[in-house]
Chain A
Amino acid sequence: MKFIELFLVFLKIGAVSFGGGYAMIPFFETEMVSHNWVSLTDYVKVIAIAQVVPGPFAVDSSSYIGFKVAGILGALIATIALCIPSFTASVIITKFYAQFKTNKYVNALLMGVRPAVLGLLISAAYIIGIKPLYQVSNTLISWTMLKAIIVIGIGYYVLNQKKVKIGTFTFIVATAVVGIISF
Chain B
Amino acid sequence: MYETKGMVITMKLFLEIFITFFKIGCLAFGGGYAVIAILQKEVVELKQWVDNDELTDIMAISQTLPGIIFVNSATMIGYRKKGVSGALIATFASILPTFFLILLLTFVIWGFTDNIIVRKAFTGILLGVTALILNSVKKTWKTAVKQYSDIVLALMATALLLFTNVNVVYILLIMAGLGFAKNLYYIRVEGKGNEIH
Contact = CB atoms under 8 A, between A and B. Distances in A.
Interface of A: 12, 14-22, 24-27, 30, 44-60, 63-64, 67, 72, 75-76, 79, 82-83, 85-87, 89-91, 93-95, 97, 104-105, 107-126, 128-130, 132-133, 148, 151-156, 158-160, 167-169, 171-172, 174-180, 182-183
A114 B32 CA distance: 17
Interface residues of B, number: 97
B124 A179 contact: yes
Nearest to A136: B123
A85 B154 contact: no
Instruction: State the majority secondary structure of interface residues on A.
Output: helix
Contacts of B144: 114-115, 117-118
Nearest to B137: A121
Interface in B17-50: 25-32, 34
6 contacts: A18-B64, A48-B129, A64-B102, A114-B150, A118-B154, A118-B157
Nearest 7 CB-CB pairings of A with B: A179-B124, A119-B157, A112-B179, A86-B67, A175-B128, A55-B98, A155-B131
A182 B57 CA distance: 44
A49 B79 contact: no
B67 A55 contact: no
Given A58-B68, A109-B176, A120-B172, 12 more contacts: A56-B69, A60-B102, A89-B72, A90-B79, A109-B183, A113-B176, A115-B157, A117-B140, A167-B29, A168-B30, A175-B125, A177-B124
A76 B95 CA distance: 11
A18 B122 contact: no
Contacts of B27: 54
Contacts of B158: 118-119, 122-123
A108 B183 contact: yes
B169 A12 contact: yes
Contacts of A130: 130
Contacts of B103: 63-64, 67, 72, 75
